[in-house]
């Protein structure tokens, strides 16, 4: 474990260094702090968009689901891939063309200041819950690795992430996301290759999986699994391509870079949907009792299967690199939440409050307030994660799905449908959310999975089928009932009473108008490539040093190859600084 500790420590130092290097670029204005001034290149934005959707849940709760149920878990991540495809085809460049610094400013342009205030408060609270789930997942995994108390682990990790986030703003967040994407990629690919070799190839991986690879155990009605996949597609579009989550693409330097960023995120997510889960799929047949030693995690013990694979079948030091990747994933998600909340508070709550009182303040003071808000938000996330750790009866995957389908989807329905439907009354968004929460409550208390299937003569379902049916019913309810209600509000639209009509018209006109970077962009581009190229060089050097760790020859070669791959990326970045575009 000594080498694992050493790898994690050195990785933390690198991430802190990234925060320091890019902190100056985030200290010029609140726009720089919130979204890098809208001057980031597509490969930075794309990797950040990818990492924003990627968290420690992938290597913990989702890996546990893959270990237990086989290929089914890929439906969730293929849904992410489809959502990013839709982003490339339609959404990403339009989000950039809103010409705003924060997502709630886009909501204000579309729905008016009253809805901006409503969504600002609601989305800040929701971010506590969502980031809390991510941090809790990392706490579960880390506590298993280091055999520590989950609550203490969550607090320590949360405070570390908080420090880096407050220091560097969006430039540091996105820059670290890019480096972290490389870490996640090399760890995932290395683990997948070793897993396939150990299990004897893809054919054995599929054929030897207990309970059937495609369907998995405890699934008497495969049609439910198919339905889950189908309904994951609209669910992920709703939760990823909406006015709130437009923050993924507000950083891009122009419309073209925003589209390319979505394409990169789609490719990374598509490949990852398979590569990430090869180790737990292999472990199901190679190490069926892998998680029996994690009794302290209760029903969440299965979520530690990825670490057990890395510790037992990978070279020494890989587990530490994996932990660094997990920290990277959660730090990315939590960083984004903290930075986004700071922007929402300052631009949509604090500044309007000052304006009403005819008060003004400097952008420098607003920047300091942004950092204070990030700190408070981070403490709130730690508290939420600590609370989730007390819910022993829920697996991490179930917890993530519950928060997403029951709370997130109804909140995002009007923020997606509102991009397409222009003529809606002022009250449409928040009344739609109320309807959506009622739909979620109904699935839990009235039209439960058991009640629904009884209409078709099915007497009972397995626990796995109940979970999947709950997802199907909730998403279907929100697509047809919640979404249908928002569309129907057009019948009550009165143009004469629409006080936001002129701004709404300008908003939809801007959505169609490409954004082109100004002539000052070239210097910023070179800074991004140069600084990140240097950081990638350092990362490749660190992984190359792992080759001296006592391991078999194949293990040492694995680290050398990973280092060379990362070094080549740094070389291309450094070389591209000679180009203007």
Residue for token pair 């006015």: 243
Q: Which two tokens stand for residue 499?
A: 């006080």
User: How far apart are alpha carbons 214 and 209 in whole angstroms?
Assistant: 9
Phi, psi of 235 (to 5 degrees): -60, -45
Q: How many CB atoms lie within 10 A of CB 420?
A: 8
C-alpha–C-alpha distance, residues 336 and 249, integer Å: 12
Angle at 249 between CA 173 and CA 415, to 5 degrees: 115
Q: Cβ distance 344 to 104 under 8 Å?
A: yes
Gyration radius of the chain over CA positions: 23
Structure-token pair, residue 467 = 């979970």
Residue 212 carries which DSSP code? -
**CATH 1.20.1730.10 fits domain 2-394+499-517:** yes
Q: Which residues contact 362 (CB under 8 A, 6 or more apart)?
A: none
Would you state the structure tokens that stand for residue 77, as one six-digit string? 């991540």
As beta bridge partners, residue 40 has 252
Look at the block and give the residue holding tokens 């003569």.
457
- Non-local (6+) Cβ contacts of 414 within 8 A are 111, 428, 429, 432, 433, 486
With vertex at residue 288, the alpha carbon angle to CA 308 and CA 550, rounded to the nearest 5 degrees, is 35
Instruction: Single out the residue of 45, 343, 9 nearest to residue 175, CA to CA.
Output: 45
- pLDDT at residue 275, rounded to an integer: 92
For 327, which DSSP code?
A: H
As a residue count, the chain comes to: 581
Instruction: Report pLDDT for 431.
Output: 95
Instruction: pLDDT tens for the chain, 581 residues: list them.
Output: 678 778 878 877 777 777 666 665 545 556 666 665 677 888 888 887 887 776 667 777 788 889 988 898 887 788 899 999 999 999 999 999 999 888 889 999 999 999 998 998 888 877 777 777 777 767 766 766 667 777 777 787 777 777 766 765 666 667 777 777 787 788 889 999 999 999 999 999 999 998 888 888 888 888 888 888 899 899 999 989 999 888 889 888 899 999 999 999 999 999 988 998 999 999 998 988 876 766 655 666 777 788 888 888 899 888 888 777 677 666 666 666 676 777 788 878 887 776 566 666 776 777 778 778 878 878 878 887 777 766 655 555 555 556 667 778 899 999 999 999 999 999 999 999 999 999 999 988 898 889 998 988 888 888 888 888 988 999 999 999 999 999 999 999 999 889 999 999 999 999 999 998 776 677 777 877 888 888 888 889 988 999 999 999 999 999 999 999 999 988 988 888 775 44
Pair 119, 49: CB distance under 8 Å: no
How confident is the model at residue 141, as a pLDDT?
A: 64
Q: Determine how many CB atoms are found less than 10 A away from the CB of residue 35.
A: 27
The residue assigned the tokens 């240097």 is 534
- The whole-angstrom separation of Cα 252 and Cα 270 is 22
Contact 338, 165 (CB under 8 A): yes
First-to-final CA distance of the chain: 45
Angle between helices 113-146 and 363-388 (to 10 degrees): 50
Cα–Cα distance list, 491 to 206, 248, 494, 503, 513 (Å): 53, 33, 9, 21, 29
Q: How far apart are CA 382 and CA 158, in angstroms?
A: 6
The tokens describing 563, both together, are 């280092």
| 277 and 74 Cβ atoms separated by less than 8 Å | yes
Is the Cα torsion angle 27, 28, 34, 35 positive or negative in sign? negative
**What sign does the CA torsion over 540, 272, 389, 142 have?**
negative
| DSSP secondary structure letter of residue 84 | H
Smallest Cα–Cα separation from 130: which of 63, 52, 60, 232? 52
Domain extents for the chain?
Answer: 2-394+499-517
Q: Helix/strand/coil (H, E, C) string of 337-376?
A: HHHHHHHHHHHHHHHHHHHHCCCCCCHHHHHHHHHHHHHH
User: In sequence order, which residues have a C-beta less than 8 Å from that of residue 576 and are 6 or more positions away?
Assistant: 529
Of the candidates 324, 270, 342, the residue with the CA atom closest to the CA atom of residue 46: 270
Q: Which has the closest alpha carbon to 433: 418, 406, 413? A: 413
* Burial label, 219 (beta-carbon count in 10 A; 0-12, 13-18, 19+): buried
Distances (CA, A) of 17 to 32, 77, 329, 542: 19, 31, 17, 14
Token digits for 316? 């020494």
C-alpha 273/C-alpha 293 separation (Å) is 28
Identify the pLDDT of residue 264. Answer: 94
Question: Which residues face 252 on adjacent strands?
Answer: 40
What is d(CA 206, CA 117) in angstroms, rounded to the nearest whole number? 51
Single pTM value for the model: 0.85
């Amino acid at each position: 474990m000594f080498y694992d500790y050493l790898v994690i420590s050195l990785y933390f130092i690198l991430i802190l260094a990234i925060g320091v290097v890019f902190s100056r670029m985030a200290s010029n204005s609140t726009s720089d702090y919130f979204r890098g001034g809208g001057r980031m290149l597509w490969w930075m934005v794309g990797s950040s968009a990818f990492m924003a959707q990627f968290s420690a849940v992938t290597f913990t709760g989702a890996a546990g689901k893959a270990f237990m149920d086989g290929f089914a878990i890929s439906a969730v991540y293929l849904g992410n891939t489809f959502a990013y495809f839709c982003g490339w085809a339609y959404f990403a460049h339009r989000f950039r063309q809103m010409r705003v610094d924060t997502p709630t400013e886009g909501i204000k342009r579309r729905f008016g200041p009253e809805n901006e205030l409503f969504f600002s408060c609601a989305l800040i609270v929701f971010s506590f819950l969502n980031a809390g789930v991510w941090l809790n997942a990392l706490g579960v995994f880390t506590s298993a690795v280091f055999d520590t108390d989950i609550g203490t682990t969550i607090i320590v990790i949360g405070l570390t992430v908080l420090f880096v986030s407050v220091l560097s703003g969006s430039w540091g967040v996105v820059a670290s996301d890019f480096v972290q994407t490389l870490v996640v990629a090399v760890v995932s690919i290395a683990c997948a290759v070793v897993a396939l070799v150990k299990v004897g190839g893809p054919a054995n991986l599929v054929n030897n999986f207990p309970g059937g690879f495609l369907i998995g155990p405890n699934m008497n009605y495969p049609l439910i699994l198919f339905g889950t996949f189908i309904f994951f597609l609209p669910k992920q579009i709703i939760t990823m391509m909406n006015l709130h989550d437009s923050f993924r693409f507000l950083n891009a330097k122009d419309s073209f870079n925003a589209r390319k960023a979505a394409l990169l995120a789609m490719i990374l997510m598509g490949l990852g949907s398979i590569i990430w889960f090869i180790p737990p799929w292999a472990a199901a047949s190679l190490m069926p009792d892998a998680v029996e030693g994690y009794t302290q995690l209760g029903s969440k013990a299965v979520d530690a299967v990825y670490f057990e694979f890395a510790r037992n079948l990978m070279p020494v030091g890989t587990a530490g690199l994996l932990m660094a990747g997990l920290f990277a994933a959660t730090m990315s998600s939590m960083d984004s939440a903290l930075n986004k909340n700071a922007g929402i508070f300052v631009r949509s709550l604090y500044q309007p409050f000052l304006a009403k009182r005819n008060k003004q303040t400097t952008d420098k003071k607003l920047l300091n307030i942004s950092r204070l808000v990030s700190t408070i938000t981070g403490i709130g996330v730690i508290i939420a994660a600590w609370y989730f750790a007390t819910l022993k009866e829920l697996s991490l995957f179930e917890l993530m799905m519950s928060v997403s389908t029951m709370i997130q989807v109804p909140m995002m329905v009007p923020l997606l449908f509102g991009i397409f439907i222009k003529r809606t009354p002022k009250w449409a968004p928040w009344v739609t959310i109320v309807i959506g929460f009622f739909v979620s409550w109904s699935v839990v208390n009235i039209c439960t999975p058991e009640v629904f299937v009884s209409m078709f003569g099915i007497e009972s379902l397995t626990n796995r089928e109940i979970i999947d049916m709950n997802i199907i019913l909730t998403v279907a309810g929100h697509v047809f009932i919640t979404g249908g209600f928002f569309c129907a509000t057009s019948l009550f639209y009165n143009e004469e009473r629409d006080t936001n009509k002129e701004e709404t018209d300008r908003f939809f006109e801007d959505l169609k108008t490409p954004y082109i970077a100004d002539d000052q962009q070239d210097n910023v581009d070179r800074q991004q490539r140069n600084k990140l190229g240097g950081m990638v060089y350092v990362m490749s050097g660190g992984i190359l040093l792992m080759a001296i760790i006592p391991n078999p020859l194949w293990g040492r070669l694995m680290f050398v190859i990973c280092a060379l791959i990362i070094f080549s990326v740094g070389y291309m970045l450094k070389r591209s600084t000679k180009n203007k575009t």
